[in-house]
């Protein structure tokens, strides 16, 4: 979630916020690898420090990633000294690789980073353009009802390390489907607040954007383990294919 500028500021603590060795990452890699042919070509939008992209490349897939944050791409390069993931520094709503892939995915709510419906639609169109014939697009995002119902500000604390925590405060602008998050690292030094704004979208709204971009929903799961998506799901993993010849 959040713009490249936000992630430039969070790059140093990102591994503590989202540890790379979590079971969820292993599930994500397993789910995504199943959708690509052996040795196939994969593109991740908002690749960040390569938390998912690097283990996918270790599975023998040819992995490319796009990101607009210089700091996050530096972290990716440090974790991937042999360059198994090819990185492109670009805005994924307006730029791309100029190539096509068997699998194009965007994970961890990064589809919500563009803060207007138009920019999210542009992101969807870029995914469609970079999709090879027979390929799949995958979006992992939260189901927004809990945020949509939120009244006033909420604050939560996230463990980072034995000597640091992150305080996250959220304010929802329901009329614009925007969430303002202030992340503040507390580690004994001067507290460092970083602002993040995201625009949430409903699963059906995302499906409609996909249709406009020439994609249709193939399946929707409640998580990377292939859980059922139902009224209680807090997130979804949605798989799309190209509508080859729209009539
Ligand atoms: C929440 S992080 C996810 C990183 C990685 N996918 C993961 O699962 O750990 C979102 C990433 O998307 C990038 N990003 C957000 N908006 C972007 C945009 N419009 N163009 C390119 N990168 C963007 C940020 O810089 C950040 O690295």
Question: 59 and 11: one domain?
Answer: yes
Domain of 164, CATH number, reads: 2.20.25.570
Question: 37 and 95: one domain?
Answer: yes
Q: What is the pLDDT of residues 207-231, one digit of tens each?
A: 999 999 999 999 999 999 999 999 9
Tell which one of 1, 4, 24 to mutate to probe ligand 1, the residue whose CB is within 8 A of the most ligand atoms: 4
Ligand 1 atom nearest residue 108's Cα: 8
Residue 177 above 70 pLDDT? yes
Range of the domain at 211: 4-144+201-242
Question: 60 and 126: one domain?
Answer: yes
Q: Looking at the domain assignment, is residue 65 inside a domain?
A: yes
Ligand 1 atom nearest residue 51's Cα: 9
Report the pocket of ligand 1 as residue ranges, CB < 6 Å: 1, 3-4, 7, 18, 46-48, 51-52, 66-69, 72, 91-93, 107-108, 110, 113-114
Q: Please provide the size of the chain in residues.
A: 247
Q: What is the pLDDT of residues 2-60, one digit of tens each?
A: 789 999 999 999 999 999 889 999 999 999 999 999 999 999 999 999 999 999 999 99
The encoded tokens of residue 226 equal 């292939």
Q: Looking at the domain assignment, is residue 247 inside a domain?
A: no
Question: 109 and 229: one domain?
Answer: yes
The number of distinct structural domains making up the chain is 2
Report the predicted TM-score, pTM, of the whole model to 2 decimal places.
Answer: 0.96
Contact of 125 with 211, CB cutoff 8 Å: no
Domain of 47, CATH number, reads: 3.40.50.150
Q: What is the pLDDT of residues 188-203, one digit of tens each?
A: 999 989 999 999 999 9
CA of 81 relative to ligand 1 center, distance in Å: 20
Question: 102 and 151: one domain?
Answer: no
The encoded tokens of residue 100 equal 């096509």
C-alpha 51/C-alpha 140 separation (Å) is 14
């Amino acid at each position: 979630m959040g713009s490249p500028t936000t992630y430039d500021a969070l790059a140093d603590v990102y591994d503590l916020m989202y540890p790379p060795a979590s079971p969820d990452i292993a599930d994500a890699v397993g789910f995504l690898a199943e959708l690509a042919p052996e040795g196939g070509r994969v593109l991740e939008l908002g690749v960040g420090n390569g938390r998912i992209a690097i283990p996918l490349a270790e599975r023998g897939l040819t992995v490319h990633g796009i990101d607009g944050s210089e700091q996050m791409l530096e972290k990716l390069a440090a974790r991937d000294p042999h360059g198994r993931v090819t990185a492109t520094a670009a805005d994924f709503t307006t730029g791309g690789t100029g190539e096509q892939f068997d699998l194009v995915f965007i994970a961890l709510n990064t589809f919500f980073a563009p803060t207007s419906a138009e920019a999210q639609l542009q992101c969807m169109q870029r995914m469609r353009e970079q999709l090879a014939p027979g390929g799949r697009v995958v979006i992992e995002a939260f189901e927004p009802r809990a945020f949509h119902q939120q009244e006033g500000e909420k604050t939560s604390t996230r463990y980072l390390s034995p000597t640091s925590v992150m305080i996250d405060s959220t304010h929802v602008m329901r009329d614009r489907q925007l969430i303002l998050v202030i992340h503040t690292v507390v580690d004994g030094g001067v507290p460092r607040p970083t602002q993040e704004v995201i625009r949430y979208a409903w699963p059906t709204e995302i499906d409609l954007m996909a249709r406009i971009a020439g994609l249709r929903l193939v399946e929707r799961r409640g998580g990377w383990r292939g859980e059922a998506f139902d009224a209680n799901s807090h997130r979804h993993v949605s798989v799309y294919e190209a509508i080859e010849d729209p009539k």
